[in-house]
Structure 1
Amino acid sequence: MLAVIISQRLGLGTVVGYIAAGVIIGPVLQVSTAGSDYLEQFSEFGIVMMLFLIGLEIDPQMVWKLRAKLLGLGGLQVVATLSTITAVGTAMGFTWQQSLLFGFVGALSSTAIVLQTLEEKGLLESDGGRAGFAVLLFQDFAVIPMLACIPLMAGAGSAASAGHGSALLQNLPGWASALLTLAAVAFVVIAGQYLSRPIFRLIALLHLREIFTAMALLVVVAIALLMSAVGVSPALGAFLGGVVLAHSEFKHELQNDVEPFKGLLLGLFFMTIGAKIDLAVLRDNWLVILAATLALIAIKLAVLLPLAWLFRVRAAAGWLFALGLAQAGEFGFVLLSIGRERELLTEQMTSVAILVITMGMILTPALFALYRIAILINNRQGKAEADQPDEGTIIIAGVGRFGQIVNRMLLANGHKTVILDYRADVVDDIRRFGVKSFFGDASRPDLLKSAGLAKADLLVVAIDDRDRAAEIVTHARQHNPSIRIVARAYDRLHHYELVEAGADHIVRELFGSSVEAAGLALQSLGMHPYEVEKRKNIFVDEDVAGLNRMAPLVDASTRAPDNPTFIAGFKDIGRVIENAMRGERTAYEEIVRRGWSPPELGESHAAHINPTRKPAAGAEP
């Protein structure tokens, strides 16, 4: 599994790692020459479980909310890419079946790699990220008809030779086969709705956890076997079963039970694919593989960029959308594997196509790096992603769950704010309430300048992106030294980064709510409310004091769990807080006074610790 770990650390995802592991162990186990049939059939259950989980995750409300981009943007992307690649393949001399299969593969993108990268970079909720998610969701749906089309493209003879024929239907007339297939599908729907749910409910009531897991696996395997018996793809049947159980009260438990097996079997499936790659093919065709990979990226960019512009996903968001989806995806391996079994492709064609997909996945981090370059070019050219904001004395960067509360408090006290957020739908919703808000990335210097940074009195950085938050604070402090900055920190270490960047008041996003929850817990255990308030104030005071004392112990080059000095300091703070709690048992009047008197700003959470500037009146953790 070393290859998987290295691949994940390099940002390539686990799929590339599994394929690399298969390439390494393939010659040792002689998978490509003999003994792989049973291994392949076993590993294909990973695909069945993947589609079962996709079916479970279908939320009609989410699909309806994304219907415009899902059907319009996603549908046009799949059709346009599929048509272009099919036409190019036919012109190059491939059969129409082979060209169409290559079109299926090229029309898909890597759901696992793209979503993971977008989430890590904090871009999933951006306009480009949401558009990409909608297209990926449509692509997952599109896999179903693609899987159904491959046997039709191959023909009956090929299907039989591939071992997917159904002995049950061989001696039946066509109308009887159709009726039997429909009956099997109806049975899956009815049994999933009215038979499996009572059984799951009984198992849950008896608290038989291991039996629940076994029952979940049995449902998936039974559906796959039933669909195979009537000549339907097991993956299609599993997808249907997942959709039926999507609204079950046991949905999340089913997901948790099946997910580990899906991961293991999918890993085995991708290792099997890697084991079948002939390294001689890579050596002899590396130029063709590289050219095909770049050509696929170019074709997808040529399709995605105009569609992004058509659906108003423009400027930097459009580049994020196009570059993020420009590779082929893991479902392509499934389609190629089935196409090889159906004798649509030769062994060499399959190996080359698998290497093209793998190469595209490896290049995905470079594609996201190109997105950052596109942002820089866009900023230098001074192109705004939307209308330029008016100048204001209070600027709020980010208006999610955190920023909304801050904004409402300021508005309720008669202040006017200017809001910057990169989610167009959020901006539109806020504008309906009469709040001045503008679409754009607040880390862009030109956007902050247009919002009136030079004359603003207050900047609230409420975004949940650590790096971008520090960039915004640094830029604001450089261009307006007198501005007051309130910043949202992810944790204690992020607090130190924001202090160094120049923030005046820093709020650890979960600190206040966690202290409040701890107070409620103490009160529920019988402690008097006044005593609870006293203890909460002591805890906050001592934690903040310890936060300041630990600042010199932070080493940017070492993780906190690997820094023994930092760990020792943290333990010392814990002992100090515990001693303070035990020692503050004073008179009832003192408890009342300290418990309910409003604290001064300097006492509230933290003092500023930036040694390079004059300490502010107070800073919140």
Structure 2
Amino acid sequence: MQETLLLATLLLGAAVIAVPLASRLGLGSVLGYLLAGIAIGPLIGAEAAELQHVAEFGVVLMLFLIGLELEPRALWGMRHRLVGLGGLQIALSATLITLLFAGLGQPLATAFAIGLIFALSSTAIVLQTLSEKGLMQTAGGRNTFSVLLTQDIAVIPMLAILPLLALRAPVTITQDGSMTRATDDAQDATHHSMSLVEGLPGWGVTLVTIGAVAAVVLVGIYLTRPVFRYIHQARLREMYTAFALLIVVSIAALMGLVGLSAALGTFLAGVVLANSEFRHELESDLEPFKGLLLGLFFITVGAGIDFGTFVQNPVGILALTAAIIALKAVVLYALAVMFRIKGRARWLFVLSLAQAGEFGFVLIAFSLQQNVLSEGLAADLLLVVALSMLVTPLMFILYDRLSRRMEDHALSQPADDIDQKGTVIIAGIGRFGQVVNRLVQSSGFSTVVLDHSLQTVQLMRTFGFKGFFGDPTRPDILHAAGLDDASVLVVALDSKEAAVKLVTYARAHRPDLHIVARARDRVHVYELYNAGANDIVRELFDSSLRAGRYVLENLGLSEFEAAEAEMNFYHYDRHILRELAEVWDPDIPISQNPAYVERARAANRDLEAALADRLDQSERIGRRPGGRTPPDTRPRT
């Protein structure tokens, strides 16, 4: 017991120190976990391999949660990428890596086994990083996910193929004179493992496998809802968590009994439950377990790196790792061109999938057991898998830099020739700028729209709205759009820095120009206020006030009272915002600015008192004659 507690303390302590530090340095949490594992690897020794078996359950949980985000219709829509993109990636990568190892002197069967192993990528690291960086829903993220899903499915036939590639084991002569092969012991060791398909003919294995998959689907459709309702009657929060874990654990166990991938089975269950009303409950219950187990998995990967083997042949190991990453990158780039994946999405697709994956550990261990690989070769391959996974976060950092350069390159493209001028210049035509533009144009005023995204400008033109491509912060583009004669400038840029830069220049050049600017948050308001904006609109402020008014109406206030409370809050908040802007210091965080904190606290007290006084006045003059106002259940937009 004491050893277990010490081990847990060591693992959690390493994670708590390394992961926040890596995140602050911009390296990402995954690299932090890997570095933590490397640091404590000598201390936990052989425990790393045992922990990895438990930690791999984090990958299972992750795929279940991903399945919850995908409706069956969405999965069917991915079929072309799954079969075409994913299938070709596995086939081409396996072929090139097979040729590489055959050229290095390995038997063809062994080289092919290694090709299959390294054709896979790291589902755990890639999906975790894509989620952290908000890239899952991008074109590159969706194509990457399709390939990873195909790879997880491909593990099943790979496990069936590898025993057929076994080398002839050396013959040993026992004391009684009989001859045995080394594989006999491995077979005896696994003979008593629990399996529903062991000893069955081929058709029997197929029937049992189909039955297991059908059972997962049927249970997901017909049984989970009644059980959830039964658990709901107990009104115990921990029972929801227990049932969520029961679903995942039982499906993983069933898949193991029929020889299928536990990750694939739980992914299928997640897809089945994607339309369930309990989907969000399942996500919230399992998310903490997924995060901790995935973190533990990454730590065990780092701890499992055998630096003793590395020291014996560092140049060879590093060269082999680089060669595999390069070969996979070439295949991925060719597929990206073939499937018309362009721009930043192409580089995300290539750089995120070029490494080996965690299933490589499983396949290498299985290949060693089946006498497909020798022990020395298996040790080298395990090290290559771990090193390639360790490099993956660095490849995402490389993607970030390439992405920024590509964005800068796009901005350096020749801007449109602006052939018109308007009363209003709108800089930025996202969701905010589009509404402003439509309202102003529909009221009979002319506008000139500028945006640095060529794709956005082209989309506008598709729907009949004219816009010009160019960087709105460039003085020559602003003057060409009519800055000298315009009445109003609307600043609706996504970049806070660009918005402040534009307001500063426009105010310096046109002191009489009225500037309306969009702000991301309160600090951005202060920056725009100092830069010279006249009207500053916080992104969510007005919509939040409107939602708050609906709440007040449904709590019993009349529409008039709710609207009056909304308006009073609006005016008071704008007033106090100007006062806070005077004590705001750009060089001091607002939480560490005593004058700002004290004025903000006083403002909150004054606001509560003012609103309470207004409400008392309304009651005294009889504005609530009907008492509680029945809520209006009609939807309002």
After TM superposition, the score normalised by the length of structure 1 is: 0.78
- 1:415 lines up with 2:445 in the alignment: yes
Q: Distance in 1 between matches of 2:208 and 2:218?
A: 15
Match of 1:15 in 2: 30
The residue number in structure 1 matching 2:276 is 248
Counterpart of 2:572, as a letter, is E
Query: 2:608 is matched with which residue: 547, 563, 578?
Result: 578
Q: 1:36 to 1:20 in 2, by over 3 A?
A: closer
Q: Among 232, 257, 271, which residue is 1:229 paired with?
A: 257
Give the conservation status (yes or no) of the 8 Å contact 1:273–1:333.
no
Q: Which residue of 2 aligns with 1:110?
A: 126
C-alpha distance after superposition, 1:74-130 (max 9, x if no partner): 77767666665555555455612213322323899823224433x4xxxx59xxx82
CA contact (8 A) 1:114 1:325 kept: no
Change (3 A) 1:417 1:132: farther
Q: CA deviation at 1:218?
A: 0.9
Counterpart in 2 of 1:262?
A: 290
How far has the Cα of 1:4 moved from its partner? 1.7
Using a 3 Å threshold, how does the CA distance of structure 1 residues 331 and 309 change in structure 2: closer, same or farther? closer
Q: Secondary structure at the match of 2:518?
A: strand
Residue 175 of structure 1: aligned partner = 203
* 1:59 aligns to 2:71 (yes or no): yes
The letter for the 2-side match of 1:48 is: V
Aligned with 1:27 (options 37, 42, 51): 42
51 and 108 in structure 1: CA distance in 2 versus 1, 3 angstrom threshold: closer
8 A Cα contact 1:293 1:359, kept in partner: no
Q: Is the Cα contact below 8 Å between 2:333 and 2:350 reproduced in 1?
A: no
| DSSP 3-state at the match of 1:7 | helix
User: Which range moved further: 284-293 or 10-19?
Assistant: 284-293
What is the alpha-carbon distance in structure 2 between the residues aligned to residue 403 and residue 193 of structure 1? 44
Residue 277 of structure 1 and its aligned partner are, at CA, apart by: 0.9
Match of 2:360 among 330, 336, 340: 336
Say which of 240, 248, 256 aligns to 1:220.
248
| CA–CA distance in structure 2, aligned partners of residues 312 and 455 of structure 1 | 44
Q: Give the match for residue 113 of structure 2.
A: 97
Whole-angstrom distance in 1 between the partners of 2:340 and 2:506: 30
CA contact (8 A) 1:132 1:325 kept: yes
* Partner SS state of residue 246, structure 1: helix
Asked whether 1:556 is paired with 2:586, we answer yes
User: Aligned partner of 1:217: which letter?
Assistant: L
Partner of 2:388: 356
Report the equivalent of 1:193: 221
SS of match in other structure, 1:19: helix
1:5 aligns with 2:17: no
- Residue 435 of structure 1 is aligned with which of 465, 477, 483? 465
Query: What are the Cα deviations for residues 177-217 of structure 1, in whole angstroms up to 9, with x where unaligned?
Result: 22111111111111221122221233235434322211111
Q: Residues 531-564 of structure 1: CA distance to partner in whole angstroms, max 9, x if unpaired?
A: 4444433332332222122224333344323433
SS in 2 for 1:99: helix
Q: How far has the Cα of 1:503 moved from its partner?
A: 3.2
Question: Secondary structure of 1:485's match?
Answer: strand
Q: Is the 8 A contact 1:421 1:440 kept in 2?
A: yes
SS in structure 1 at match of 2:434: helix
- Aligned partners of 1:340 and 1:11: how far apart in 2? 33
Are 1:517 and 2:547 counterparts?
A: yes
Partner secondary structure for residue 105 of structure 1:
coil
Compared CA separation, residues 146 and 493, structure 1 to 2 (3 A): same
CA-to-aligned-CA distance 1:465-498 (integer Å, 9 cap, x gap) = 4344445545665777765432211211111122
- Residue by residue over 1:2-59, the C-alpha shift from the partner in whole angstroms, topping out at 9 and shown as x without a partner, is 112212222222222222222222221222xxx5554333222212212212222213
Corresponding position: 1:184 with 2:184: no
| Equivalent pair of 1:78/1:107 in contact (CA under 8 Å) | no
In 2 relative to 1, CA 361–167 (structure 1 residues): closer, same or farther, beyond 3 Å? same
Partner letter of residue 462 of structure 1?
A
Provide closer, same or farther for how the CA distance between residues 517 and 114 of structure 1 changes in structure 2, counting only shifts above 3 A.
Answer: closer
1:460 Cα deviation from its structure 2 partner: 2.7
Q: Is the 8 A contact 2:326 2:354 kept in 1?
A: no
Q: Percent identity?
A: 40
Partner residue, 2:5: none
Q: Assess, with a 3 A threshold, how the Cα gap between structure 1 residues 191 and 507 changes in structure 2: closer, same or farther.
A: same
Bigger drift between 77-86 and 36-45 goes to 77-86
Q: Against the structure 1 CA distance between its residues 25 and 514, is the aligned structure 2 distance closer, same or farther, given a 3 Å change threshold?
A: same
* 2:144 is the counterpart of 1:136: yes
CA distance in 2: counterparts of 1:539 and 1:564, whole angstroms: 24
Check 1:412–1:356 CA distance in 2 against 1; reply closer, same or farther (3 A cut): same
1:369 aligns with 401
- Is this contact kept in 2: 1:217–1:258, CA < 8 A? yes
> Counterpart amino acid of 2:38?
V
CA distance change for structure 1 residues 450 and 174 in 2, over 3 Å: closer, same or farther?
farther
The amino acid that maps onto 1:278 is D
Contact 2:449 2:467 in 1 (8 A): yes
- CA contact under 8 A between 1:396 and 1:460: conserved in structure 2? yes
Indicate conservation of the 8 Å contact 2:126/2:352, yes or no: yes
Aligned counterpart in structure 1 of residue 496 of structure 2, from 460, 466, 474: 466
Larger radius of gyration: 2
1:145 aligns with 2:134: no
- Unpaired runs of at least 5, structure 1: 593-621
Q: State yes or no: 1:347 paired with 2:379.
A: yes
Shift in Å, 1:458: 3.9
Cα deviations by residue, 1:114-172 (Å, 9 ceiling, x for unpaired): 4433x4xxxx59xxx82212222213322322322431342167896995975432222
Give the Cα separation in 1 of the matches to 2:355 and 2:215.
28
Decide whether aligned partners of structure 1 residues 519 and 423 sit closer, same or farther in structure 2, where only a CA change above 3 A counts.
same
Deviations 1:273-310 (A, max 9, x none): 22211234455665566656666676666566676667
Distance change in 2, residues 1:155/1:140 (3 Å): same
- What is the Cα deviation at residue 272 of structure 1? 1.7
Query: 1:373-405 deviations in whole A, cap 9, x for unaligned?
Result: 34445544x356xx7776443444444443332
Secondary structure of the structure 2 residue equivalent to 1:346: helix
In 2 relative to 1, CA 498–518 (structure 1 residues): closer, same or farther, beyond 3 Å? same
Aligned partner of 1:546 in structure 2 is 576
Q: Which moved more, 1:89-98 or 1:256-265?
A: 89-98
SS in 2 for 1:264: helix
Q: In structure 1, what residue type is equivalent to 2:120? A: F
Structure-2 change in CA distance of 1:166 and 1:93 (3 Å): farther
Q: Match of 2:351?
A: 327
Provide, for residues 406-429 of structure 1, a one-character-per-residue CA deviation record: whole Å limited to 9, x for no partner: 233112212344545677776566
Aligned residue for 2:351, secondary structure, equals: coil
**For residues 531 and 193 of structure 1, do their structure 2 counterparts lie closer, same or farther at Cα, with a shift above 3 Å needed?**
closer
1:239 is aligned to 2:255 = no
CA distance in 1, matches of 2:188, 2:430: 56
Query: CA separation of 1:192/1:5 partners in 2, compared to 1, >3 Å: closer, same or farther?
Result: same
For residue 255 of structure 1, give the secondary structure of its aligned residue in structure 2.
helix
Q: Which amino acid aligns with 1:554?
A: W
What residue in structure 2 maps to residue 609 of structure 1?
Answer: none
The CA deviation at 1:267 is 1.8
Contact map agreement 1:390 1:452 (CA 8 A) in 2? no
Where structure 2 has 5 or more consecutive residues not aligned to the other structure, the ranges are: 1-14, 167-182, 623-637
What SS class does the counterpart of residue 556 from structure 1 fall into?
coil
Moved more, 8-17 or 430-439: 430-439
- Measured on the aligned residues, the alpha-carbon RMSD in Å equals 4.1
User: Could you tell which deviates more after superposition, 426-435 or 212-221?
Assistant: 426-435
Relative to structure 1, the CA distance from residue 227 to residue 212 in structure 2 (aligned partners, 3 Å threshold; closer, same or farther) is same
